[in-house]
């Protein structure tokens, strides 16, 4: 996963409101991790962001599935008569202009 190092130049600010209990918990975790509160929160948030975004950036396939996927991408376009018919029909905005 592509985490962003905390040592990069920080030019943006992020403000947030949290409960006293949440702040205490974060301060304790940061202290145990030998990090400043900012470093701990940024590292944790970026790690979670990487987790959330991972399935939207890459996907893994077994070798046989990868080959089938690539073959499908490389295959010639097949005619789709229903799609052609749909694209010839006037769209919603075309009908609205005629009124």
Domain count, the chain: 1
The confidence score (pLDDT) of residue 34 equals: 97
d(CA 34, CA 26): 12
Q: Are 8 and 19 in contact (CB under 8 A)?
A: no
- pLDDT level of residue 55 (50, 70, 90 thresholds): confident
* Number of neighbours of residue 40 by Cβ within 10 angstroms: 20
User: Within a domain: residue 54?
Assistant: yes
Residue 5 falls within a domain, yes or no?
Answer: no
Q: Which residue has the tokens 């304790």?
A: 28
Q: Please check whether residue 84 lies inside any domain of the structure.
A: yes
Q: What pLDDT does residue 58 have?
A: 80
pLDDT of residue 59: 79
Statement: residue 97 has pLDDT above 80 = no
**Is residue 8 assigned to a domain?**
no
Query: What is the domain range of residue 89?
Result: 20-98
| 36 conformational bin, left if phi > 0, alpha if psi -120 to 50, beta if neither | beta
68-93: average pLDDT = 91
Query: Is residue 9 a part of any domain in this protein?
Result: no
Tens of pLDDT, residue by residue over 13-50, are 999 999 999 999 999 999 999 999 999 999 999 999 99
Per-residue confidence (pLDDT) for residue 10, from 0 to 100:
83
Residue 66 inside a domain? The answer is yes
Please report the pLDDT score of residue 91 as a whole number: 85
């Amino acid at each position: 996963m592509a985490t962003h190092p905390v040592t990069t130049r920080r030019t943006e600010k992020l403000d947030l409101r949290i409960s006293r209990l949440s702040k205490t918990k974060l301060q304790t975790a940061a202290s145990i991790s030998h990090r400043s509160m900012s470093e701990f929160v940024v590292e944790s948030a970026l790690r979670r962001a990487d987790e959330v975004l991972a399935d939207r950036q890459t996907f893994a396939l077994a070798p046989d599935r990868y080959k089938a996927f690539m073959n499908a991408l490389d295959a010639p376009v097949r005619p789709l008569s229903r799609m052609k018919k749909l694209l010839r029909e006037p769209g919603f905005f075309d009908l609205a202009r005629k009124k």
